[in-house]
Structure 1
Amino acid sequence: MNEGNAPRLTHPFFDGLVPSMKSKVLITGAAGFIGSHLTDSLLEDGILVRCLTKPESDISHLAASPSEIISGDVKDPSSLPPAMEGIHTVYHLAAISRLDANVPDEEYYKTNVEGTRNILESAR
């Protein structure tokens, strides 16, 4: 798999950190630009991928992939346990960037700070 010249994490430091083909990973923010490309890359490497996406997200790109898609929101702790079940590694990419000046500070904080806290708590 991994065709081309993409470097792989082969140093012993990374042993156990890089998911194996038998493990399942969760990607939050999988409908976004980086998340969707990470999903594609992991699937190409044979990794089982579960995607957590907000209900209003455009998942048309993900729908055609063999990834498992779960609708939820990092701001809603009750939506996270089903997403975390059986997960070995979490790639937390769900966030609001400051590029959109129309997002209120409170929403930015809830998603980026409280959402990250919810992911960490759920991953325990």
Structure 2
Amino acid sequence: MPHSIEKVLVIGASGLVGGHLVRQLLTEGRTVHCLARDATRVQELADAGCEVTTGDILDPAAVATALESVQAVYICIHTLSPQAHSSSGQNFMDVETAGIQNVINGCRDVGIRRLMYVTSIGVATDARSAWVCGRAQIEQRLFATGLDVTVIRPGMIIGRGGTGFDAVARGARGRAAIVLGRGTQRFRTIAVDDMAYYLAGVLDDPRSFGHHYDVGSDDVMTIGEMIDVAAERLGRRRPVKVHLPGRLLRSAAPLIERATSMPRGAMTGLVDSLQVDMSGDPKPIRLILSRTPQTYRQAIEHALR
């Protein structure tokens, strides 16, 4: 059956989720564009047929250029990660909020109605974490635009190149594994291939307009449990868990941000998010997209292979 939306823009294609989404959309026969600060980071996608516009989401002109001739937009950005020099010194949520407002304005200017945004399970406007609260506020802003918005909220994404997964893999390979906080936080897990499936699956489905969906497998685990399963898969002994107290991380946050080029406030937002329940409820989206998600063990075996 032909797609109703043929031309799509992916913002954040250089990241784990965005890259897999681009490949999924290309496989489906859609025309895919991406907006990337560094074209060399998406060269593999360009070679596969993705058209690349070089620019930053904070640049309205670059956003406007990227939106030319497309019918829908995916936003898969991760502002806890190091940002471009142009955003240095800004609060990390200010970066995301300003960038997404540029996308909203650009969509209105050219008449694009379909927009999808990736946040996280557990986002809430009353959360202590500025990251969790800020993304919930952006969700509300998007839904208030009157555009055909769908928000996908994943749990811990399992795939090589993902910040959380890479930390799990490093811990599993060592004799000791660093765990932020007390390690009691539980995450619903989702394979990155399943994440791309859900994102592509809602694109043409009007039932998803105006809704947010938690996505993930039936596995809900702590970071320590994830590390132990990964270690078992690698044929290694379970590592000793070394916990870094949240209070220590919070006090060192400004130094960590400067040393790693993270935006201002990002480390504190990350530490505060360790108190958030990340289990969610994946049942609603399964009513419209019925593929059974991979288990954590299946996802980890594929990612470590």
Q: Tell me, yes or no, whether TM beats 0.5.
A: yes
**Paired position in structure 2 for 1:23:** 6
Structure 1 residue 61 displacement after superposition: 2.4
- Asked if 1:117 is matched to 2:62, the reply is no
- Asked if 1:90 is matched to 2:73, the reply is yes
* Higher-Rg member (1/2): 2
Structure 1 residue 94 displacement after superposition: 2.3
**Paired position in structure 2 for 1:77:** 60
TM-score (norm 2): 0.31
Structure 1 residue 111 displacement after superposition: 2.5
Letter in 1 for 2:106: S
TM-score (norm 1): 0.72
Cα distance in 1 for partners of 2:71, 2:13 equals 17
**Percent identical:** 29
Structure 1 residue 98 displacement after superposition: 6.3
**Paired position in structure 1 for 2:31:** 48
C-alpha change, 1:95 and 1:59, in structure 2 (3 Å) is same
Q: Which deviations, in whole Å up to 9, do the C-alpha atoms of 1:3-62 show, x marking residues without a partner?
A: xxxxxxxxxxxxxxxx92762000001111100000000000001100110136612321
Structure 1 residue 93 displacement after superposition: 1.1
**Paired position in structure 1 for 2:22:** 39
**Preserved CA contact (<8 Å) 2:5 2:71:** no
**Preserved CA contact (<8 Å) 1:25 1:90:** yes
Superposition map of 1:53-72 within 5 A: 53-55=36-38, 58-72=41-55
The DSSP-based 3-state class of the residue aligned with 1:27 is strand
Greater helix percent: which structure?
2
**Paired position in structure 2 for 1:108:** 92
Cα distance in 2 for partners of 1:31, 1:106 equals 22
Letter in 2 for 1:63: A
The DSSP-based 3-state class of the residue aligned with 2:41 is coil
Structure 1 residue 72 displacement after superposition: 1.0
Unaligned residue ranges in structure 2 (runs of 5+):
109-305
Q: Which deviations, in whole Å up to 9, do the C-alpha atoms of 1:39-90 show, x marking residues without a partner?
A: 0000000011001101366123213211101101110111111110111110
Cα distance in 2 for partners of 1:58, 1:45 equals 23
C-alpha change, 1:120 and 1:22, in structure 2 (3 Å) is closer
Cα distance in 2 for partners of 1:37, 1:98 equals 18
Letter in 2 for 1:73: D
The DSSP-based 3-state class of the residue aligned with 1:50 is strand
Q: State the number of aligned residues.
A: 104
C-alpha change, 1:107 and 1:54, in structure 2 (3 Å) is farther
User: Root-mean-square deviation (CA), in Å?
Assistant: 2.6
Q: Which structure carries more relative contact order (alpha carbon 8 Å, separation 6+)?
A: 1
Cα distance in 2 for partners of 1:118, 1:38 equals 22
Cα distance in 1 for partners of 2:5, 2:103 equals 22
Cα distance in 2 for partners of 1:58, 1:99 equals 14
**Paired position in structure 2 for 1:12:** none
